[in-house]
Amino acid sequence: MAPNGRNLSAVTPWWRSAVIYEVYIRSFADGDGDGVGDIAGLRSRLPYLADLGVDALWITPWYPSPMRDGGYDVSDLLGIDRAFGTLEEARELIAEVHHLGLRVLLDLVPNHLSDRHPWFQAALAAPAGSPARARFIFRDGRGPAGEEPPNDWTSNFGGPAWTRVTGPDGRLDQWYLHLFTPAQPDLDWTNSEVREEFARTMRFWFELGVDGFRIDVAHGLIKAEGLPDLQPVGSAPAPDHTASHPHWDRDEVHEIYRSWRALADAYADPRIFVAEAWVNGPERLARYVRPDELHTAFNFDFLLAHWHPSPMRRTIAATLRAHEAVGAPPTWVLSNHDTVREVSRYARPADGRPVRRLDDLIARPADLAAGRRRARAAALLMLALPGGAYIYQGEELGLAEVEDLPDEVLRDPGWEQSGHTRRGRDGCRVPIPWSGLEPPFGFSPPSASAPPWLPQPPDWRSQTVEAESAEEDSTLTLYRGALRLRRAHPALGDGTLRWIEVQAGALAFVREPGFACIVNFWSEPVEPPAEADVMIASGPLQDDGRVPADTAVWFAVRPRPGLSSPGW
Ligand code: GLC
C-alpha cells in the first residue's frame, strides 16, 4: 500500500477507472530556469498531482529531439533530451511517482522518427532500394524525371506529404513520405527491423519502471499497399479515417497492437497502453481496445461534442455501447495539447461548426464566462461517466486558450507549413501559472535566465495554483473535490449508467449504488432527485435547490423502501 492509501495491486485493474493527468513537459514546470519545463520541475510538482487526486500521469515526449514538432520528432528512442534532464533524473522521477502511489505513462511515437535520427541519416546516405531506405517510405517520383510526388497525400500540417531528397551522388533522387512535418519521416511498419526496434524501446522503458505508453498516431502506422492516391480520378475523395482510407485506420494495424499487448502482458505487473486514434466513430475506435489489443483509447468524439445535450448524449451512449461490446472501459477527455481548450470551445455557440483547431473558431465571438461555467459542468459530467478520464494540465485551473499570441512567438510547425494561414496549437501549450502576481507565475524559479518559452497572459494572476487553492469556488477546488469524491464513491469509475428522462436541454443519469448526476445545458431549472443530497455542484444552485443552466451536480441518492435502485 502506498503512503496515500492507494493500493497498487487492487483486484480490478487500476486502468479501468483511472484518471490520468497529461503533463506537456515543456510547459509544466521549469526547474533550471531556462524558460522550458523539465524533469526537475515536474519532480518538484509531484506532490501537487498526488494532492489533486489523479491516478497516473502521461508525460509527452521527453526523448532527444530537434523539437521541430514539440518533441514528436524523436532522434533517440532510448534517451532524454538535454533540455528536459537526464536518464538518471527520469529514473528518480519514476521512483518518486510510484512512492506517491501514482503511475506513469510515456508517449511512444511509432509512426515516424526525426530526420536527425541515425536511421534516417543512414537512409539519406544509402542508395534507392537499400535496406537503410527500406525502414522508411521512399519512392520514385512521378513524371518523366520523377519531379512529381509519388501520390497526392497531404501532410497533416499542410502541403504535400512528400519531400524529395538529394542522393548520395548529389543528384535529385527519391521522395520520402511524412504525414506530419518533413522533419518527421514515416517508418515502414512492414519492415521487421522497425518492429524489433519498437519492441526493444518498450522493453527498455518498461524495465526502467514505466507503467505504460500513450501511442501517438496509433491509427496511422499502416499504409495501403501501392500507396494509392487519395482521390482517384473521377471518384469522390476517400472518406476520412476509415478502413478504406489509404493511410488512416487501416485494418492491418491491429496485428501490431496484438503483438504489443503480448509484450506488455508478459510483465508481472502488466503494463498498459492508450491509443491516440482519430477514427470515424466509436465502433472503429473500439477495435483498438479489443481484449488482445490496447487497453484504452482516447475518446475524441466526446472532446469534439458541442455543449448541447443531443450530441453529448448520442456520443456517450454510442461510446458506452461500442466499448461494452468489446469489454473495454471507455475514457473521456475534454482537451489535450493538440486541441483548443474547452473553456474557449464552449464559449462559442453550439452551432455544429468544427471546434478542434483554433483556426476553426478564432474569428467567432466568445462568451468566456459561459465557457468557464460549461467547462466546469463538463468536468463533473466527464468524471461521473463510466470508465477512465484524462485531464490536460491547466484544465483543472479553468485556463482558456491563449488566442492572441503574437505571430513571432508561434512555434507550432503548422504555422510555418501552412504559409502562416493556420495559427496552430501553441495557444493551449502556454506554460502553467503556479503562483505570484506576474509572469512567469512560478513556472520558472526566481533566478531564471529566460522568460517562459511562450508568454503567459498577465490576467492569469487570478488562475494560478496558489490563487485557486485559496478559493472555495475555484475550478481547482472543484476538480480536487470531484476527484476525492470519485475515488471514495463505489458507483464511480468503471461500470454502467442508466439515463433518466428529464426535460429537453438537460441530461440526467444514475449509477449504482446511490449516485445521480444532472447536467443542465440550457433548460429551465431541473428538479433534483427525491431523497438526494448534493455531493458537489459546478456552480450555484437555485434557492429552491433546482439545477440551473450551464451547471452539473452530483447527488448521493438515499435508497427508498421498495425501490432497488434510485429513481426520480
Ligand atoms: C500526435 C501528437 C501531436 C503531434 C503528432 C505528430 O497527434 O499529439 O502533437 O504533432 O502526433 O507526432
Return per-residue pLDDT of the chain as tens, 568 residues: 344 444 444 478 999 999 999 999 999 999 999 999 999 999 999 999 999 999 999 999 999 999 999 999 999 999 999 999 999 999 999 999 999 999 999 999 999 999 999 999 999 999 999 999 999 999 999 999 999 999 999 999 989 999 999 988 889 999 999 999 999 999 999 999 999 999 999 999 999 999 999 999 999 999 999 999 988 655 554 556 666 899 999 999 999 999 999 999 999 999 999 999 999 999 999 999 999 999 999 999 999 999 999 999 999 999 999 999 999 999 999 999 999 999 999 999 988 888 889 988 998 999 999 999 999 999 999 999 999 999 999 999 999 999 999 999 999 999 998 999 999 999 999 999 999 999 999 999 999 999 999 999 999 999 999 999 999 999 999 999 999 999 999 999 999 999 999 999 999 999 999 999 999 999 899 999 999 999 999 999 999 999 999 999 999 998 876 655 545 6
CA-closest candidate to residue 210, choices 63, 26, 1, 374: 63
Question: Residue 60 CA: which ligand 1 atom is closest?
Answer: 8
Cell matching residue 326? 468489446
> Is 19's C-beta closer than 6 angstroms to any atom of ligand 1?
no
Pairing state between β 388-392 and 506-511 = unpaired
The amino acid at 68? R
217, 221, 249: residue to mutate for ligand 1 pocket, most atoms within 8 A of CB: 217
Close Cβ partners of 192 (under 8 Å, ≥ 6 residues apart): none
Question: Residue 179 CA: which ligand 1 atom is closest?
Answer: 6
| Domain spans, the chain | 14-111+192-482, 118-177, 497-557
Does CATH number 3.40.50.2000 belong to domain 14-111+192-482? no
Question: Residue 109 CA: which ligand 1 atom is closest?
Answer: 12
65, 180, 247, 337: residue to mutate for ligand 1 pocket, most atoms within 8 A of CB: 180
pTM here is 0.96
Topology alike, domains 14-111+192-482 and 118-177: no
The CATH architecture that domain 497-557 belongs to is: Sandwich (2.60)
CA-closest candidate to residue 183, choices 69, 79, 60: 69
User: How far is the C-alpha of 402 from the C-alpha of 405, rounded, in Å?
Assistant: 6
Burial of 62 (0-12, 13-18, 19+ CB in 10 A): buried
> Is 294's C-beta closer than 6 angstroms to any atom of ligand 1?
no
For residue 70, how far is its CA from the centre of ligand 1 (angstroms)?
9
- DSSP single-letter state for residue 169: T
Are 147 and 175 within 8 A, CB to CB? no
> Is 69's C-beta closer than 6 angstroms to any atom of ligand 1?
yes
CA-closest candidate to residue 264, choices 1, 8, 15: 15
User: How far is the C-alpha of 295 from the C-alpha of 214, rounded, in Å?
Assistant: 10
CA-closest candidate to residue 424, choices 160, 114, 74, 68: 68
What fold, for 118-177? Oligo-1,6-glucosidase; domain 2 (3.90.400)
> Is 72's C-beta closer than 6 angstroms to any atom of ligand 1?
yes
Residue written as grid cell 535496406: 131
Residue written as grid cell 535529385: 172
Cα dihedral: 36, 389, 1, 202 (round 10): -60
Q: Which residues are bridge partners to 533 per DSSP?
A: 556
> Is 107's C-beta closer than 6 angstroms to any atom of ligand 1?
no
For residue 215, how far is its CA from the centre of ligand 1 (angstroms)?
10
For residue 284, which phi and psi values (nearest 5 degrees)?
-65, -40
> Is 338's C-beta closer than 6 angstroms to any atom of ligand 1?
yes
User: How far is the C-alpha of 36 from the C-alpha of 65, rounded, in Å?
Assistant: 14
